[in-house]
Amino acid sequence: MTRKLIIFGAGDIAQLAHYYFQNDSDYDVVAFTVDEAYLTNREFCGLPVVAFENVADLYPPADHALFVALSYSKLNQIRKEKFEAGLALGYDLASYISSSATVLNGHSFGRNCFILEDNTIQPFSHIGDNVTLWSGNHIGHHSDIGSHTFISSHVVVSGGVRIGEQCFIGVNATLRDHVSIGAKCVIGAAALILSDAEADGVYVASASERSRVPSSKLRKI
């Protein structure tokens, strides 16, 4: 049965959420909502945009679900706050699980998850509330992804990994098996984590440097 959905946000991620929910779910997006202080346009993606302060009156929680379509801003704190505000209003928080994801964990997902295409989620893993898995990640068996975490594309989470709440994992990062990542960690792009990461830690891989040889001197390319 199709359910009516309100999306919190009016930016790129909200536009993507509208596309995915509308084309690959049982939800029908009927409106967007933002905080009244940020209500600059009354229409987005051809649908009305209303103040979050009034959303429950205009679109009652008894008849509508909510999805919070925000990024990892302030280490996921803003998305967490809006998730909790939606629950406080009485909304069911919808999750999107791509039909192109390989889901083998018995759909052990929390609320307000955004799981995009080509993710492989192995058996006995668990995804908490309000987790974003951008496209193309590997979530290993018996791993646990804490709530309010954002995982970018092509991340390898090996088996038995524990990731705390409100973490950010950058593109192409690799986490070896059975490591624990403390809450509010930032794991940078292409980082290789071979042991436990302490809470509030920042782990950054070395950036590639420009060679002294210019490309015009390369004879085999």
* Structure token digits, residue 154: 């092509």
Question: pLDDT class for 158, splitting at 50, 70, 90?
Answer: very high
| CATH homologous superfamily, domain 95-201 | Hexapeptide repeat proteins (2.160.10.10)
How far apart, in whole angstroms, are the C-alpha atoms of residue 34 and residue 79? 12
**Per-residue model confidence as pLDDT tens digits over 184-208:** 999 999 999 999 999 999 999 998 9
- CATH number for 3-94 (one of 3.30.70.380, 3.40.50.20, 3.40.470.10, 3.40.710.10): it is 3.40.50.20
Of 49 and 219, more confident: 49
Cβ-Cβ contacts under 8 Å for 65 (sequence gap 6 or more): 3, 4, 5, 6, 27, 91, 92, 93, 94
Q: What angle do CA 153, 159, 163 make, to 5 degrees?
A: 60
Provide, rounded to the nearest whole percent, the portion of the chain with pLDDT above 70: 100
CA distance 104 to 154: 18
User: How many angstroms separate the CA atoms of 95 and 121, rounded?
Assistant: 15
Confidence of residue 110 (pLDDT cuts 50, 70, 90): very high
Nearest to 77 by CA among 197, 178, 165, 193: 165
Number of alpha carbons in the 13 Å side-chain half-sphere of residue 60:
2
Instruction: Give the confidence band of 43 by pLDDT, cuts at 50, 70, 90.
Output: very high
| Model confidence at 220: pLDDT above 90 | no
d(CA 221, CA 99): 40
pLDDT-above-90 percentage for the chain: 95
pLDDT tens-place string over residues 77-105 = 999 999 999 999 999 999 999 999 999 99
**DSSP one-letter code for 197:** B
Report the DSSP beta bridge partners of residue 192: 174
Mean predicted confidence (pLDDT) in 45-57: 98
**pLDDT at residue 69 above 80?**
yes
Domains 3-94 and 95-201 share a fold: no
Domain spans of the chain? 3-94, 95-201
